[in-house]
Amino acid sequence: MPLSTGIPKLDEHLSGGFKEGSSVVIISTPGIDVRVFVYQLIQANPQVQSAYMVENTFPDQIRKDIGRYIFPEAAFKRMAFVDVFSSALGMPSTEKYAATDATKPKTIADAIDNMLKNEKVGLFILDSLSGIEAKYAFACGMYERIDEMKKAGIASVCIYTSWDEKESEEIAKKFDYVISVKSIEDRMLSRNYFKVLKAPTGFVGRAVPFRTAFDGVAVYVPKVIITGPFHAGKSTFIHKVSTKAVSVNRMGTTIALDHGYVEHSGFSVDLFGTPGQERFEFMLDILNKDAFGVVLIVDSTKPQTFGRAKEMLAHVSRYSLPYIVAANKQDAPSALKPEKVKEMLGLDTEVVGTVATTGEGCMEALKRLIDRIVEGAK
C-alpha cells in the first residue's frame, strides 16, 4: 500500500503516493524550506513508525517547528530522532540515537545502524542530504544504507538543497522518486511550485502552485476571476463556496467587487467577482492583472444574456487564461441543460450545471478550473 504524501494533488500526480521501500528525494532551490513536505508525509501515515535524522539543527528545533502546524500528534509521537548535529558542536545529545562525534563519519553510520536495530521503522527522513554530502562526501555510507533500507521495506525521504542544475540531475539518478520544489517568477510575481520529475510508475509532471500555512502544504491559486452578466448569480456562487467572503453592493447588486477565500480538499484560492453592468467594465481590466483563471457564470434561464457573457469572457481572458462555464440556476424549470448552454455559447470548454443558492455543482466547477490551471502549468 503506498504512503500518502498528505497532499492530495501530489498523491494524484504520483498515482497514490510513494511505494513502501522506495527512495525519494525532494530537491529544492535555496530559500525554500521544504521540511513541511516531510512533516505532512509523516502525519499522513500515523500507522508507520518514522525516524528523522537531522544534521543541521537540534532535534528540539524540529519538534518546535512541527508544533507550528495543526497536524494530529499520533504520528509524531512514534517518531525517533537520529541526532548528528549536537556532537558536531561539541554538545551532548539528549536523544536516544546520536552520533558520539559527528565530525567522524563512522559514528554517524553507527547511530543509524543502532536506530535500525532497535526500531521497527517504515519511514526514514534525512534532513539534509546536501549537508551530509558537503561535510562528509558520503564517507558515512549514506547511499549504501538507503539501499539496505529499501531491501528491508523501509521508505527513505531525503531533502536536498541544490545550487546547480547539473548537480540536481546527478542526485536524481540515485532515487526512485524525485520531487522538485522551486520558486518561479510568474507574471512578475514570485510563486512556489512543486513538480514530480521522476517516479517508477506513471506520474503527472506538471508544476503545481502551492502555499504553506498552519495547516501545511496546499495547492494555492492566488487569483481566480468570477464573471458573468448582471444577476447571473456571481455573488451567491462566491459566498456559497468560500470559507469567508465579502461583497460591496447596494440595493441587492454588486457595485464594486466580491471577494472570497476558499479552503477545500487540499487547495485554496482567492476569488474576485466582477459587477455585471457595462458601466463597471473598467474593473475587468483591474481584476485581470495577475489572474490565473476565470469562472464564467451564466443564467441558464436567460439565453439572451449569453452574448454579453461572451463579451465579458473575452475581456478578461486576453492572456489565454484557462476558464470554465457555470450554467447557473439549474433548479429553475426553464433552465437550459449544460450541454445546450455549451452549444449556444459556442465555447470550447466544460460547462458545469450549478445551483448557487444551494451550492450544487459550485465546488465541482471550481475544482475543474483548478485542475485546468495546474494542467496548464509546465
pLDDT tens digit sequence for 136-149: 876 678 888 999 99
Pick the CATH number of 220-376 from 3.20.10.10, 3.30.565.10, 3.40.50.300, 3.40.50.10860: 3.40.50.300
pLDDT at 111 over 70: yes
Across 175-198, average pLDDT: 84
DSSP 3-state assignment of 140? coil
Give the confidence band of 254 by pLDDT, cuts at 50, 70, 90: very low
CATH code for the structural domain at 8-210: 3.40.50.300
Q: How confident is the model at residue 253 (pLDDT cuts 50, 70, 90)?
A: very low
What number is the average pLDDT over the span 203-220? 90
CA distance 187 to 292: 10
Q: How many CB atoms lie within 10 A of CB 217?
A: 25
Residue 199: pLDDT band (50, 70, 90) is: very high
Q: Is the pLDDT of residue 184 over 90?
A: no
For residues 49-67, average pLDDT: 95
Q: Are 295 and 323 in contact (CB under 8 A)?
A: yes
355 vs 248: which has the higher pLDDT:
355
Q: What proportion of the chain, given as a percentage, has pLDDT over 90?
A: 61
Q: Is the pLDDT of residue 291 over 70?
A: yes
Separation of alpha carbons 368 and 366, rounded Å: 5
How many residues does this entry show for the chain?
A: 378
Output 94 or 317, whichever has higher pLDDT: 94
Domain with CATH 3.40.50.300 in the chain: 8-210, 220-376
CA 99 – CA 264 distance, rounded (Å):
43
- Give SS3 for 2: coil
Mean pLDDT of 300-320: 86
β-pair type (293-299, 244-250) = unpaired
Q: How many CB atoms lie within 10 A of CB 331?
A: 15
Tell me what pLDDT residue 367 has: 92
In the prediction, which pLDDT does 278 show? 54
Q: Span 182-197, mean pLDDT?
A: 77
Confidence bin at 306 (pLDDT 50/70/90): very high
Nearest of 176, 120, 167, 119 to residue 146 by alpha carbon: 176
Question: Averaging pLDDT over each range in 172-176, 260-264, 312-316, which range is the top one?
Answer: 172-176
Q: Are 224 and 270 in contact (CB under 8 A)?
A: yes
pLDDT at residue number 252: 47
* pLDDT above 60 (res 295): yes
Residue-level pLDDT at 114: 96
Q: Taking the complete model, does pTM exceed 0.75, yes or no?
A: yes
- Model confidence at 13: pLDDT above 90: yes
pLDDT of the residue at 250 = 45
Q: Who wins on pLDDT, 203 or 264?
A: 203
Q: Is pLDDT of 186 > 70?
A: no
DSSP-derived secondary structure letter, 89:
G
The C-alpha atoms of residue 5 and residue 199 are separated, in whole angstroms, by: 14
Q: Parallel, antiparallel, or unpaired: how do β-strands 208-213 and 189-198 relate?
A: antiparallel
Phi, psi dihedrals of residue 2, rounded to the nearest 5°:
-70, 155
Nine-digit cell string for 52 = 528523522
Report the alpha-carbon distance of residue 240 to residue 363 in Å, rounded: 9
Which tops the pLDDT comparison, 165 or 23?
23
pLDDT digit string, tens, across residues 148-174? 999 999 999 999 999 888 888 999 999
What's the confidence (pLDDT) of residue 236? 93
Q: 108 vs 279, which has greater pLDDT?
A: 108
> Is the four-CA dihedral 131, 169, 188, 272 of positive or negative sign?
negative
